[in-house]
Structure 1
């Protein structure tokens, strides 16, 4: 007789009801690795910046001040966050598609957006820039 066609995997999870719905609970000793998770605020801020950029390019708002009034936020905050729409394409690809973990906060990411594109990856991901 040959090898079995199926593999049995045991995953120690518990099923609990929460608000009338089943919820899968991880084991009590499970600790998620914080160094392997991307900050969700970064993706949200990038998405918001691109939405604002599109609205400005469509002519809905003429200035950052008009945009800030339209979204009911401080002009300084909107101007700072809007920089994220101008990150280097390679940095955006690594953040949005590959979901790579950054070495910076959202505030530091907005500050790095003013750097030349070749330097941004080094700052954002904590690596040396490679010029080829």
Structure 2
């Protein structure tokens, strides 16, 4: 809820609106508080970095499953990328389906970012949904 203040002479109206500023990659986002009063629903915000990583992970998984590459090392060599990097990105294929769908639709929480996810997360979907950077989504 916003606070309104009118100056004594009535010439100035000050409106204070609670919000937070979150860093998203190199950009900063203004995030509204978790209330339904007076706030319009937020538009989908596609995180292109996260989206590209998820799409790439599933493409690599498909290539491995189809037999285009036998090992992650072979895939890494063909893509001229570090094997460790590919392994970390491939972990994104273990995300719960509703979380993947949210990323694709741009409905993921502002706190869900690529770097914490590639560092690791639980493989159990219920535990993923309880992570601090995901829980605000549900």
Per the normalisation by structure 2, the TM-score is 0.60
Q: After superposition, where does 1:1-132 map in structure 2 within 5 Å?
A: 34-35=29-30, 37-123=45-131, 124-127=133-136
Q: Which has the higher helix share?
A: 1
Where in structure 1 are there 5+ consecutive unaligned residues? 1-31
Count of aligned positions: 98
Offset at residue 101 of structure 1 (A): 2.8
Alignment root-mean-square deviation, CA: 2.5
Q: Which has the higher strand share?
A: 2
CA distance in 1: counterparts of 2:136 and 2:123, whole angstroms: 15
Per the normalisation by structure 1, the TM-score is 0.63
Q: Deviations over 1:78-113 (max 9, x none)?
A: 000011112111211221135323413212112444
Q: Which has the larger radius of gyration?
A: 1
Q: Could you list the runs of 4 or more consecutive aligned residues of structure 1 that deviate by over 3 angstroms after TM superposition?
A: 35-38, 111-115, 126-129
